[in-house]
Structure 1
């Protein structure tokens, strides 16, 4: 399957849209290797480009068990070598995963901040299993098994959650949801002082 760079990106649906909660169905055998499935993946790739590291079909309102992943050098350029090593994060080439199932291969968990293209402008601390094994298929129908650790395992868990109707807000640690946008100035200048309160 070659990437059609002419594919038009889709609109990503946001939290509150029913497509994010209704779950998905398995991709039928007869869809593997077809132009229709290739088109879906091309659209998902074009939609993901430059925006994030993963996208699941329900995020463009398609109720199928498909997600795509790509983690480029550019997306991790803000991390120090130590941070990259701690998270086990390195570039991950574009890949489409169909009909995945997974299980943890270690009891170890890690907490990291996650964002979501369907919840723009926010991040939260989310615990995930450090190591997992995933069984699924390539778009051409070839069966594949992925053994993943660290950041790639986190991305896979996040995207498979989407396929099951879960969002990071369901998994996050309480009280950790935070805006990535400027927070605003709050009370008018001097008001806190006049109320006998200190500035934050």
Structure 2
């Protein structure tokens, strides 16, 4: 067995133990001797245990706390830094049930018009849900290519429901609901999976799994790097 196949254990858990107070747990993230601490400025990658755990609910009393606000702020920063459309707290190393989504109109200019229409893509302003719940409102399924910044450099076709409804709390701690369809419904389902320790590779059509830069690998005789930073 190659040494790299060993399980790498964290010296500090980023999951919230039930018996531990939220504030004490959060403060421990900053008092460890680790050199790089969550919430990260990058996306965690498949293999990191935080991506396979069931994220904890944010305690109601802390939804509007400074700690949670800092986590959300960092999530949005990373989301926009990498020009993505969705992010979940485990992707920056924090095992809490928080997601953020944003589909900018400018993305339309980056895609062929036929692709934009076929995938039913529409603008979605920045939306944050704390302790979200998802219900399916249209059980019709569509299969489209899907990628993930936590499985960097790969994609595959995944079936997702046509329409869903998200309910939960906003950053002010107020109950909120949002109905989504098309590509935005796909984003919501993808991010909700992260909160339950699932990745798109668990649902994908394995025959469609590809390295997104395979052509460049051939053209440049393998001299290609997949960046995990920006």
Shared fold, TM over 0.5: yes
**Does the Cα contact within 8 Å between 2:85 and 2:102 map onto a contact in 1?**
yes
| Inter-partner Cα distance in structure 1 for 2:107 and 2:120 | 14
- 1:126 pairs with 2:126: no
Q: CA RMSD in A?
A: 1.9
- 1:74 pairs with 2:106: yes
Match of 1:97 among 126, 129, 138: 129
| Inter-partner Cα distance in structure 1 for 2:139 and 2:126 | 28
Match of 1:64 among 64, 72, 96: 96
**CA 1:81 to 1:182, structure 2 compared with 1: closer, same or farther past 3 Å?**
closer
**Does the Cα contact within 8 Å between 1:33 and 1:139 map onto a contact in 2?**
yes
Deviation at 1:86, TM superposition (A): 3.0
- SS of 1:23's equivalent? coil
Displaced runs of 4 or more, over 4 A: none
- 1:185 pairs with 2:225: no
| Inter-partner Cα distance in structure 1 for 2:173 and 2:214 | 45
User: In the alignment, which residue of structure 2 is the partner of 1:32?
Assistant: 63
User: In the alignment, which residue of structure 2 is the partner of 1:152?
Assistant: 184
TM-score (norm 1): 0.84
- 1:23 pairs with 2:78: no
User: In the alignment, which residue of structure 2 is the partner of 1:115?
Assistant: 147
| Inter-partner Cα distance in structure 2 for 1:50 and 1:89 | 21
Consecutive unaligned residues of structure 2, counting only runs of 5 or more, are 1-38, 222-230
Match of 1:143 among 175, 178, 183: 175
Deviations 1:15-38 (A, max 9, x none): 010000011011111112222111
**Does the Cα contact within 8 Å between 2:63 and 2:130 map onto a contact in 1?**
no
Deviation at 1:14, TM superposition (A): 0.2
User: In the alignment, which residue of structure 2 is the partner of 1:45?
Assistant: 76
Match of 1:14 among 35, 40, 45: 45
Find the structure with the greater CA-based Rg: 1
Deviation at 1:94, TM superposition (A): 1.0
- SS of 2:132's equivalent? strand
Deviation at 1:69, TM superposition (A): 0.8
TM-score (norm 2): 0.73
Deviation at 1:88, TM superposition (A): 2.4
Deviation at 1:73, TM superposition (A): 2.2
Deviation at 1:50, TM superposition (A): 4.1
Deviations 1:41-88 (A, max 9, x none): 111111111421111000111010001111112323233444333322
Consecutive unaligned residues of structure 1, counting only runs of 5 or more, are 1-7, 189-200
| Inter-partner Cα distance in structure 1 for 2:218 and 2:89 | 38
- SS of 1:77's equivalent? helix
User: In the alignment, which residue of structure 2 is the partner of 1:192?
Assistant: none
